[in-house]
Structure formats: C-alpha cells, structure tokens
Structure 1
Amino acid sequence: MEYQPGVCNIGPAQRRRRLLLGVVSLLAAVAFVVAVVAVDLPRWTLALAVFPLYGAAMGYFQYRERFCVGFAGIGVFDVGGGTERVDDPAALAADRRRAVRLNLKSLAVGGLVALAIYGVAVVAV
C-alpha cells in the first residue's frame, strides 16, 4: 500500500483501528437510545445520539476509504511503515480537503440517522 495525497493515508493496521472506532461508537449509540427509552427521558434527548452516530459513521468511512481525518489534520500518514510526515504543501492541502469532506459526510449520516430515530420515537409514543 502506498500513500496517495487526498486518497489514501492509512494502511491495514490503521484501518482496523478506525473500524473498531466505528463499531464501538455504534454500540454506544444503541446503548444510549435504549437507555433513553428505558429511563423514559424526554424524546428530544434522542437527538443527542448524533454524537456517537457521527463517530460510527466516521469510523466506517475512514475504514472504507483508507483515509484518516485526524492524520490529515496533523499532516501525517501511516500506510504500514510507521507514521511519516507529509512535507509537500499540495499533498497536505489535498489531505485536508478530503478530511473536510469525510467530516461533513459523517456528520450528515449521523444527523440523518439521529433524526430518523427521533422520528420513530415520536411516532411510536
């Protein structure tokens, strides 16, 4: 595997870490929703599920797209040979543009799923 600016900045080991982040975040979202319903908290609190759902989407997208948003932010990559700096300003700019897109996509997915959960809860009451 090879570093490609704006395309790929993590290898297999780092991808597995992002997938684990996504799975743990998804489990946290499920636990949160179950807790809100079980304790009978106000339904609007279900909107707070957006945070772990964002984490779940972010973990999944980083895994699938072989790209770490955090690494792009600090200007490094790790495709299997250890963490290395991104020294080329154009490559760094491409990585950061990609990071913004992944953040927005993850936030949109997290928000839409949280909205759907809230909608189901309101209709079900």
Structure 2
Amino acid sequence: MEYQPGVCNIGPAQQRRRLLLGVGSLSVAAVTVALILAMGWPRWTLILSLFPLYGAAMGYFQYRERFCVGFAGIGIFDVGEGTAQVQDQEALAADRRRAVRMNTKSLAVGAVGSLVVYGVSLVLF
C-alpha cells in the first residue's frame, strides 16, 4: 500500500484504530441515549447523540476509505512504514479537501442519526 494524495493516507494498522474509534463512539451514543431516557431528561436532549454519532461515522468512513482526517490536517501519512510528512503542497491541498468532504459527510450522518433517535423516541416513548 502506498500514499495517494487525497485518496489514501493510512494503512491497515491505522485503519483498525479508526474502526475502533467508530465502534467506541457508537457505544457512547447508545449509552448517551439510554442515560437520557433513563434519567427522564427532556426529549430534545437526545439531539446530544449527534456528537458520538458523528464520531462513529467519522471512524467508519476513515476505516472504509483508508483516509485519516487528522493526518490530513497536520500534513502527515502512515501507510505502514511509520508516519511521514507530506512534502508536496498540491498533495497536502488534496488531502485537506478530502478531509473537509469527510467531515461534512460524517456530520451529516451524525445529524440524521440524532434526528432519527429523536423521532423514534417520540413514537416509542
């Protein structure tokens, strides 16, 4: 596997870390919803599930697409031989454009997910 600007900036080991981030964040989202319902807090507070759902989506997308948003932000990559600095400015710009798209997509998934949680709570509870 090799670094491809705007396409791939992490290898298998880093992918696994992103998958664990996604699974952990999804677990936090489930606990957040359960606590809010168990504590009897106002239903609108279920929208707080947006944050861990965003993290879950981000972890999943980074895993699936072999691309780390954080690495793009600081201009590094790690495809298996350790971290290295992105030297080419065009490559760095391509990575950062990709990072913005992934952030936007993850935020949209988190927002839709939290609205679904809120809607389901209105129907079931």
Q: How does the TM-score come out when normalised to structure 1?
A: 0.98
Query: How far apart are residue 32 of structure 1 and its match?
Result: 0.5
Superposition map of 1:1-125 within 5 A:
1-125=1-125
Secondary structure, counterpart of 1:4 in structure 2: coil
The percentage of aligned residue pairs carrying the same residue is 71
Secondary structure, counterpart of 1:16 in structure 2: helix
Query: How far apart are residue 122 of structure 1 and its match?
Result: 1.8
How many positions carry a matched residue from both structures? 125
Counterpart residue identity of residue 34, structure 2: V
Query: How far apart are residue 124 of structure 1 and its match?
Result: 2.5
Distance in 2 of aligned mates of 1:110 and 1:119: 14
Runs (4+) off by over 2 Å: none
Distance in 2 of aligned mates of 1:123 and 1:44: 14
Q: How does the TM-score come out when normalised to structure 2?
A: 0.98
Query: How far apart are residue 65 of structure 1 and its match?
Result: 0.1
Please, which runs of 5 or more residues in structure 2 have no aligned partner? none
Aligned-residue RMSD, C-alpha: 0.6
Distance in 2 of aligned mates of 1:14 and 1:60: 12
